[in-house]
Structure 1
């Protein structure tokens, strides 16, 4: 019994660490916004991850090339939505909004997932999902409006939040596509191929917009983004799903707005206001309600 409790405690620490890493990365994204362009850090992030993985993955990928060829289109789509659109738009949003807002909006993934699943998987949501989604959306608008719904009419003022909403929307597509296709491919192989596609997708943007150089001001941020949220956190998350299941693991994502806000408060001197508290609570209540099973 003691050994089992220790095992569960160890397993529960994995998604906690993963969520902390992703929360810190949101703050890194905001911190580095004025030090390197969104296209540049997004490209360098996946380049670092690709270089680190290649010595371990190249032979495995080559041996499974026929399997990879069969799922070529799926890998291309997954990379476009999960690594290019989501991450690229997140880096762009960081120029116009706070890390705290980005963390709160990021918690909206489950709600978007419900309605995308309805469209693509014919997974009809129950009344709890509908009510919870509406409640979460109201909370999201309250945060974006900084406690004043009327200010939402001034769209330019909330441009960063709007971009982040689109980023999260595309990431929800990524999760639904994973569920829809359920590719029978080793997870690390899948990750490596998606990273490879991401680098290719960046090339036209680099040719058009150029590529900033890595210097002493942005090097640490680039390295962190390429290693911790791109490789270590996903691995911890996958191990946690294996040991404690996807449902128990996914609950930890609700901690991301909290971790993000705490880090932003101490590192970036971002204020936590009453509208963050009220809107955040409404969003989390809505998300919890949306995931309630039909009775």
Structure 2
């Protein structure tokens, strides 16, 4: 009688390294969203930016995802409520709120507020874990208490973000007023945290690519009524290189590539640990601003970036 050999699983250290690298890739790509939100705020209405982003994303991922969707359709149909919830949070609301925030606040403020996501991700993940069965597809059991090391890393990274926004001056930080865009960004941060925690409960039998396509399709469908209202009230936008280029970036890279890598990262290392890497977003935005706008970084900015990187390394690492 033949003996079936158990499939090999990747070593925990290798899986963790790959998961953190994927989370970092998504974070770097998503950092461009804040610059684009500011660049398009005067020419493309937020809802229209979000709608065309997901149409472009669907066209980009369809050739690779539709075969898997067809094979898994019976399972997908049974779990449409879960998929609709993930699409509402991660597709319909999250990025639309970012583009709305970009109308009245700076890219730096948006990145700073987004850096609060790891704390909310960890909290939502714990709440979800209390009500859910173990995660499918070999996802890590990340429901244990955060532990002093990870908490210390999160607080260290958060301190770096706060000081970075204040420019090293407590007085400047105290004068930081919350613009309407800051409030929109707070709402976006909460929806992203809920989406990331919900990813851990991805139904068994639905692959990464099928999950991605269905959330994109459902999210775009839910945006369609708001898109029609925006067209009627605000009118369309001119299709030029200045508008088409950013839409292609957010449709292909920020959607098709970044969402796949983020979802895979959570499957490998869990929502809380991947969320710690998200603290690097203000650093990425600062570097992108330097590359695109020529804005230099002084000693305070460099020191704060070092704090953020150290906090991420402390909070996202293993026990060793």
After TM superposition, is the score higher than 0.5? Answer: yes
Q: Deviation string for 1:17-76 (max 9, x for gaps)? A: 544332233322222222211101100000111123334444542332211111101100
Contact 1:141–1:149 (8 Å) recurs in 2: no
Distance 1:49 1:92, change over 3 A: same
Please list every run of 5 or more consecutive structure 2 residues that lacks an aligned counterpart in the other structure. Answer: 1-13, 131-142
Which position in structure 2 is the counterpart of 1:260? 285
Give the match for residue 100 of structure 2.
92
Asked if 1 retains the 8 angstrom alpha-carbon contact of 2:283 and 2:305, the reply is no
- TM normalised by structure 2 equals 0.71
Superposed CA offset, 1:113-166 (max 9, x none): 122223332444434555555565555555556656677787854433332233
Please state if 1:110 is matched with 2:118: yes
Aligned Cα root-mean-square deviation (Å): 3.8
Distance, in Å, in 1 between the alignment partners of 2:156 and 2:211 is 35
Q: Residue 197 of structure 2 corresponds to which residue in structure 1?
A: 176
Q: Distance in 2 between matches of 1:294 and 1:106?
A: 27
| 1:28-67 alignment runs, 5 A limit | 28-67=36-75
Structure 1 residue runs without a partner (length 5+): 1-6
Q: 1:96 to 1:147 in 2, by over 3 A?
A: farther
The correspondence for 2:257, drawn from 224, 232, 256, is 232
SS in 1 for 2:201: helix
Higher normalized helix content (fraction of residues):
1
Residues 277 and 312 in structure 2, CA contact (< 8 A), matched pair in contact too: no
Return the offset for 1:103: 3.1
The TM-score normalised by the length of structure 1 is 0.76
Q: Structure 1 residues 156 and 225, CA, compared in 2 at 3 Å: closer, same or farther?
A: same
TM-aligned CA distance change 1:120 to 1:60, over 3 Å: closer
CA distance in 1, matches of 2:200, 2:262: 16
Matches within 5 A, 1:213-228: 213-216=237-240, 217-228=242-253
Q: 1:223 to 1:142 in 2, by over 3 A?
A: same
Change in 2 beyond 3 A, CA 1:113/1:32: same
* Residue number in structure 1 paired with 2:222: 201
Q: Matched residue of 2:199: which SS?
A: helix
Q: Secondary structure at the match of 2:119?
A: helix
- The number of equivalent residue pairs is 284
